[in-house]
Chain A
Amino acid sequence: MITLYINNIKTEVSEETTILEAAGELGIGIDTICYHEKLTPPGLCRQCVVEVEGARVLLPSCITKVKEGMVVKTDSERVIRARKTILEMLASSTDLTDSPELNDQIKRYGADTDRFNNSEERNYPVKDDNPFYVREYSKCILCERCVQVCSSDIQFSYALTTAGRGYDNRITTFYDKNLPETTCVFCGNCVAACPTAALIPRNEFLNRNGGVL
């Protein structure tokens, strides 16, 4: 067993536990974005970072394993500043109207969604190329869950990939082909994994938009 301190509370957990899990056992919630308990955590959104005594930078709690004597702060000034800034930058890049969890975080951190309002937003036309679901990538936050479930985490269809680089990263298919022309088997796992309604069942999309695409 490993003994550590989270927000000044002493706790004992088994080896290989992550800080996120150890905090959860104490009832301390740590906000996440890309993390999904059924998937391999990619540790890319950095929203779950925490301050660990002795560490040079903030550490992602979803993948950082506990260590003997570790002293963790999940809500220090540094942590809050990073999380709030990440939310503000994300809100200025992506349409978060259908992201309830993110909107809840924005509210709780008091993030100013207009803070970077002179910024170039990632706008893409709606892709409606199959009878099952619609892809609205203006709402995509690049958590890459859809690529994970389509690939080795669940389905092994390998229809999706991240293309581009940096801010211009985007989720797409082989040479941007329409889904029916790809290896997609329409299993729906990507739609289930999407946290922002960037991937949404076609009927639901039509209902929300009064029947208009």
Chain B
Amino acid sequence: MGNKKDRVFGEFLNSISEKSRTSLLPALLEAQELFGYISESTAELIGSVLGVPSAEIYGVIEFYSLLYSKPTADTIIRICTSPLCSLKGSYKIKKALLEKLDLEDGVSSGDGLFMVESVQCLGLCDHAPSGMVNNKSIVNISIEGLDDIINGKYSAPENRAFGTNPVLTERFDRIDPESIADFIREGGFTGFHHALTLSRDNLIDIVTNSGLLGRGGAAFPTALKERGALEASGTGETYIVCNADESEPGTFKDRIMLSRDPFSVLEGILISALIIGAEKGYIYIRGEYQDARNLFSRVIESAEANGYLGKDIKGSGFNFDLELRSGAGAYICGEETALFESIEGKRGYPRNKPPYPVVSGLFGKPTNINNVETFSYLSRIMGSNKTKIIDSELKTLSGTRLFCLSGDIKRPGLYELPFGISLIDLINDWGGGVSGSDNIKTIILGGASGSFVPEEHWNIALDQESLRAVGLSMGSGVIMVFNESRDVRDILVDITRFFSHESCGKCYPCQLGTRKQLEIVEKIRSAAPSLGDFSRLEDIGFTMKDASLCGLGQTASSALLSAVKIWPELFKSGEETGVK
């Protein structure tokens, strides 16, 4: 049997068209899938075929959570222990599961049948607690339902969306997501065909006038990125990358977008490629989104078969190929330069910037990288079929966005709503209000890297300007609600544990700071604050925010620093508060 698998793997290696380092992650993921781990001999074989030093292959395997250098088990059950699933009892569920299977955490059973371990946010926060059985998502898990899970009985997540006058989610109920015919019937590719008739400058002007800002979290103007990549590339090689490595706790919008209207994302990618003159693009979907990945690979095939990818697309003379890449379990790879490193077959270490991706991105070439939602929105902006550039209707098109509502909320889920809706209205009128008790304790905006919202701002309008004015950020559109039974310290332990697990460790402030802040918060929760904890947390938080290399480190203390401001008494010793 070993020989047969070896043969299959040998054939896979032979079939790789690009026998260089960029194929390292695909090869390691294939080996992991086939053998359940990557042995020394497999790693050496991969290294000899792709020309990668073997020590560096080991470094890569050890970096990614979904790659193993030691044997695992036939069935790996992963339970999400990130903030929202933990809130809904996932630690207890994991403990019960370990007891039921008589296993140690993260250790395969003697017979190699089962292994149970924690996993960080799976983007199923609207179905918490969640997990995975091998590559399949499991949702709303409970201790009572564990036998079913062990016996392979579980249901898939529902990928619903709510809202009024939707733009991004409007096709959801009218199409089979896999059907290119359905997509075209519902106005798909209108934007791309329109774009084919316009000059690059005209196209960038339309994007500029739409006011579209990146939807991945940083809210950078999309048109500026396009203009930058176009200017840097001239007529040289350039790339489009779709960042589908959604991993921010509380965020699940990209998973649902990719599951319900994947062709709209592809259309946005095509339009961007046209704008900057790219002939090659990548979509990097996180390793845990197996269903979305399988679907998107069929979407690419279908687009190729129907002349929307490949040579001379629709007789326009425009050539473009799109390649699907899978992540392997690393939140940091959602950081754009870490994502490039990952596609290039390396540890997901972010790069120092400058140079910025528009100048030197993937393989050192000018690159336009955007989030899933941003690409989808681009297709709607172009699809409004206006030839006039400045058009008030186009402006309003950028007027909705996707909000991910989760936590203690009666109706968690994806909401597409206009910018400017008030936070508390979204929670009460759309989400049905707080669940589990009568009152809201607190709200986090922006995910684990976001902030607690002070009570006086609960009615704030959700738009860039209003939020910026009070020092808040929408990030990737995450709203987490916590009822009055929750202890802020528990929430902070989960958040700081997440960052300690996901820091890549390249730069000192984040490598050291994410661990130290977790240790202090854990101690405060289990015992009490000691003299100096408050200033220690502030100094760590400040140092990470001001001196870290990338956005992860710069925001890994954001929630904690906001909590320190709102509830200083939780972090001060008796001597410091004057209360004995």
A residues whose Cβ falls under 8 Å from a Cβ of B: 33, 42-47, 49, 57-58, 60, 63, 78, 81-82, 84-86, 88-90, 92-93, 115-116, 118-120, 142, 151, 158-169, 172-175, 182-183
Contact = CB atoms under 8 A, between A and B. Distances in A.
14 contacts: A58-B546, A60-B352, A78-B546, A89-B512, A89-B513, A90-B508, A90-B512, A118-B523, A158-B53, A165-B63, A166-B505, A167-B512, A174-B57, A183-B53
A46 B500 contact: no
Contacts of A142: 505, 511
Contact of A43 (B352, B505, B514): B352
B512 A86 contact: yes
B308 to A, nearest CB: 38
Contacts of A92: 516
Contact of B514 (A58, A158, A167): A167
A57 B554 contact: yes
A49 B504 CA distance: 20
Contact of B549 (A44, A86, A88, A159): A44
Contact of A166 (B43, B57, B511, B532): B511
B411 interface: no
Contact of B507 (A44, A118, A151): A44
Classify the secondary structure of A's interface with B: loop
A82 B542 contact: yes
Contacts of A173: 55, 58
Given A86-B512, A89-B508, A166 B502 contact: yes
A75 to B, nearest CB: 15
A167 B500 contact: yes
Interface string B391-428: 00000000000000000000000000000000000000
Nearest to A94: B512
Interface string B40-74: 10010000000001111111001100000100000
A85 B540 contact: yes
A164 to B, nearest CB: 5
B503 A167 contact: yes
B62 to A, nearest CB: 4
Contact of B503 (A46, A58, A81, A165): A165
Contacts of B542: 81-82, 85
A147 B510 CA distance: 20
Given A45-B508, A166-B500, 8 more contacts: A46-B508, A57-B554, A85-B509, A118-B519, A142-B511, A158-B55, A158-B56, A174-B55
Contact of B543 (A86, A119, A159, A161): A86
A160 B500 CA distance: 24
A90 B502 CA distance: 19
Contacts of A57: 545-548, 554
A182 B389 CA distance: 62
Contact of B55 (A45, A115, A118, A183): A183
A166 B556 CA distance: 13
B237 to A, nearest CB: 23
State the 8 A-B residue pairs at the shortest beta-carbon distance, nearest first.
Answer: A158-B53, A161-B59, A163-B62, A169-B505, A166-B503, A89-B512, A167-B515, A161-B55
A58 B352 CA distance: 13
B448 to A, nearest CB: 15
Interface in B475-515: 500-515
B5 interface: no
A89 B55 contact: no
Contacts of A164: 62-63, 505
Contacts of A159: 55
Contacts of B509: 46, 82, 85-86
B536 interface: yes
Contacts of B505: 142, 162, 164-169
Given A120-B515, A165-B505, A169-B505, A49 B58 contact: no
B347 interface: yes
Given A82-B546, A85-B539, A166 B504 contact: yes
A85 B511 contact: no
A174 B60 CA distance: 11
A174 B54 contact: yes
Contact of A163 (B58, B516, B519): B58
Nearest to B501: A166
B92 to A, nearest CB: 25
Contacts of B513: 85, 89
Contacts of A166: 500-505, 510-511, 514-515
Contacts of B500: 166-167
A160 B59 CA distance: 9
A9 to B, nearest CB: 24
A93 B545 CA distance: 20
A164 B53 CA distance: 17
B519 A120 contact: yes
A182 B505 CA distance: 25
B196 to A, nearest CB: 39
Contacts of B330: 165
Contacts of B539: 81, 84-85, 88
A167 B69 CA distance: 19
Contacts of B514: 166-167
A115 B547 contact: no
Contact of A44 (B57, B62, B347, B508): B508
